[in-house]
Chains A and B, each alone.
Chain A
Amino acid sequence: GAGVSQSPSNKVTEKGKDVELRCDPISGHTALYWYRQSLGQGLEFLIYFQGNSAPDKSGLPSDRFSAERTGGSVSTLTIQRTQQEDSAVYLCASSFLGLGDEQFFGPGTRLTVL
């Protein structure tokens, strides 16, 4: 596609359930990023994939959060045993090169944990 796509656009889940959020980056982009945007907050960096290198997981808030990127393309962010404080918009971005290059953002997935 022409841009970064994310699915689902909205996800409502019950506390304690696991959720998977998907990101399809722009074809050919080597870097992929996940951010969390809570109401009234800025963008909180979660994880960064660059090519075949080990991902930078320094932003993941707890071990309930994990992400993988298969084949250097599609990425899935998994949140296990969701908590109400996980409610936020999860944004994915990709860039042709790594950090320092322009990031192209997807529309986000709005997660609501009841």
Chain B
Amino acid sequence: AQSVTQPDIHITVSEGASLELRCNYSYGATPYLFWYVQSPGQGLQLLLKYFSGDTLVQGIKGFEAEFKRSQSSFNLRKPSVHWSDAAEYFCAVGEGNDMRFGAGTRLTVKP
């Protein structure tokens, strides 16, 4: 069965440190992939998406993600975290008419 896994429920990083949030999936060979962010008290906002082409995708707010077909992963990265990045991050994966969200990773940023 198709699934999306975000292995880390909660991550804490220091401001200025690098960040990587993991996303693994079990879908076919050509999924479409998204990362969304949900800031406190706000709705979900798209950070970036991948459909095809270059496997390294640039998004808003300095985020990027890399699609690795061999590892069935689409990890989100940021080289230097800002306090305003504290939020809940959701990976979403789909194929055809089937799309699912991961359970989310909550990011805490230490000063």
Contact = CB atoms under 8 A, between A and B. Distances in A.
Interface of A: 3-4, 35, 41-43, 45, 56, 91, 93, 98-100, 102-103, 105-108
**What bracket does the count of chain B residues touching chain A fall in?**
20 to 34
A99 B27 CA distance: 15
B99 A100 contact: yes
Interface of B: 6, 32, 34, 36, 42-46, 49, 51, 90, 94, 96-104
B interface: dominant SS: strand
B51 A107 contact: no
Contacts of B99: 45, 99-100
A35 to B, nearest CB: 8
Nearest to B49: A102
